[in-house]
Amino acid sequence: MDKNRCGWCKGDTLYEKYHDQEWGVPVKNDALLFEFLVLETFQAGLSWITILKRRENFRVAFDHFDYKKIATYPETKILDLLQDEGIIRNKLKVRATVTNAQAYIEIQKEFGSFSDYIWKFVNDKQIKNEVVNYKEAPANTPISDTISKDLKKRGFKFVGSTIIYAFMQATGMVNDHQLDCFRYTEV
């Protein structure tokens, strides 16, 4: 018998694997947090499955999401990325990734880690919502509004409240698994 999952991921093996193994699991590792930030940035205006299908291409193109390398990308690397058919070739998003890597490092310097910085917004504890149907989950919240404003103040790009809320869901800062989903109690 199939496991009961959140409605948004049903019917696609890649989506289901992501849902079952990653989505909503609390992430405290700075490298993985940056990866999710990059992927959510590129997801803006697109479907998440589009990004998931290109995730490995992004990983290769962006040096395994090594923010220290990305922060120092020269213009030639940016131009190469804009020619890479394996990723989303949006000039603003590619440039934002470099800018965000630089700002990410500054946050690490100030707070010791990006994890310490980002998790302080939820008092270092996952928010557990009681979502009956995935369509009821919010697109943003006052907390994602606050994080978005703070990141923008620190120079980040493509970090609107909706993108940040999706980041919070992906990295387990908030548990928006449906109550009847097998993962709700596991994460």
* Residues known to be catalytic: 18, 40, 48
Query: What is the spatial distance between Cα 173 and Cα 153, in angstroms, rounded to a whole number?
Result: 21
Contacts 24+ apart (CB under 8 A), 5-9: 5/181, 5/182, 5/183, 6/131, 6/134, 6/177, 6/178, 6/181, 6/183, 7/133, 7/134, 7/135, 7/178, 8/134
Strand partners, 127: 174
Non-local (6+) Cβ contacts of 123 within 8 A are none
Provide the 10 A C-beta neighbour count for residue 119. Answer: 21
Query: What is the spatial distance between Cα 38 and Cα 79, in angstroms, rounded to a whole number?
Result: 18
Antiparallel, parallel or unpaired: β 174-175 and 127-128: parallel
Supply the DSSP symbol for 128. E
